[in-house]
Structure 1
């Protein structure tokens, strides 16, 4: 097991609460699943997994309201299957017909320091050092498989690797409960993954992430 630390930042973020069905309302702090996705955007293989351990909040929590145009529909699976069988078809969505405005409560001017352990899965036949060196090399050069984002893909994140012994800015000093927060999805049943939650607390600007086995459905 190897531990890495990334610092991520961006002008906007939205870690959407799943209980909000229509409007996008963000959690107050980055979720563990969003943090995991940042690490996986730099390096992911079936032979490894990322375990997020701690999230540090570096900027004060600030909010903004934003109303955006969104598309209210998706291309149906049935239409795709029919087009594949026929060798062609119209799979387009017309924005003018499907447009709707939705309000969002977003975070602005965010920065986090996220700590995660790199572990091998049962599918790995190579030593951990191989993937450790691969990730460190890619993170130092700013390389990624896809652009990391802060909750929603339109909110791109800048990232950099925090090296051991590097001088860093301290997290905010705020301490307060954050309530039940999404930890990650349980893929025990790949057809129907289920969300798992934990009772999150911000303690001197840090959120300690419990093991997945201690979460609740």
Structure 2
């Protein structure tokens, strides 16, 4: 296991969309491991490292709110270089989380793409420096870009406070991650989702490794 970190993240709203909901967006009860990894990668990522989520601490009560959002129906591509929102916009309902706060407990592992100049200590210190200075490659978000993430390093675990959740809570099957298979043109040809049975114990969700997940 590589160097471990704890990152506190919070925001006004979040939407970790359930993949089985085809029309309207409905969020999972808590942040998914893939969303947590996306936040870490927004702060610091290189081909030489791979982030692994170990635990997710749910600090605030789970509260939902119904909202309506404007979305565009299509995506920009090589064949469609421009999108005119006046023609493409549509309104969709969404069941989102409000007033969320989590602690992401994770570590990174070195990959086969590491170079001679790469080391665990180097990337660990880079991550710490970037978090302390509030730096990120792009603003991390909770599921969708209009729900930005505030973040800070957990320097002292005793200063965080306890979760409001006590006992065991079965959250059902949750998306763990998605593996993308590319074709010869480096385009996404196949997406394989992996799920796990999420159980929250005293506000903490232990995240399994990908080999322990189900498809």
Name the SS of the counterpart of 2:208 in structure 1.
coil
Q: Which is higher, the Rg of structure 1 or of structure 2?
A: 1
The RMSD of aligned alpha carbons is 1.5
Aligned match of 2:185: none
Tell whether 2:176 aligns with 1:183. yes
Matches within 5 A, 1:132-143: 132-143=124-135
Shift of 1:165: 5.0
Name the SS of the counterpart of 1:181 in structure 2.
strand
2:189 and 2:49 mapped to 1: Cα distance? 22
Question: How does the TM-score come out when normalised to structure 2?
Answer: 0.91
Q: Is contact 2:140-2:148 (8 Å) kept?
A: yes
1:113 and 1:179 mapped to 2: Cα distance? 21
Aligned length: 206
Q: Bigger CA drift: 32-41 or 126-135?
A: 126-135
2:135 and 2:151 mapped to 1: Cα distance? 10
Aligned match of 1:85: none
Name the SS of the counterpart of 1:210 in structure 2.
coil
Matches within 5 A, 1:170-209: 170-174=162-166, 175-187=168-180, 191-209=189-207
Aligned match of 1:7: 8
Shift of 1:99: 2.0
Aligned match of 2:213: 215
1:98 and 1:137 mapped to 2: Cα distance? 42
Matches within 5 A, 1:15-54: 15-54=16-55
Unaligned ranges ≥5, structure 2: 183-187
Matches within 5 A, 1:145-156: 145-156=137-148
Give deviations 1:97-117, integer Å, cap 9, x for gaps: 222110000000000001001
Aligned match of 1:97: 87
Q: Is contact 2:59-2:165 (8 Å) kept?
A: no
1:179 and 1:68 mapped to 2: Cα distance? 27
Tell whether 2:64 aligns with 1:63. yes
Shift of 1:188: 5.4
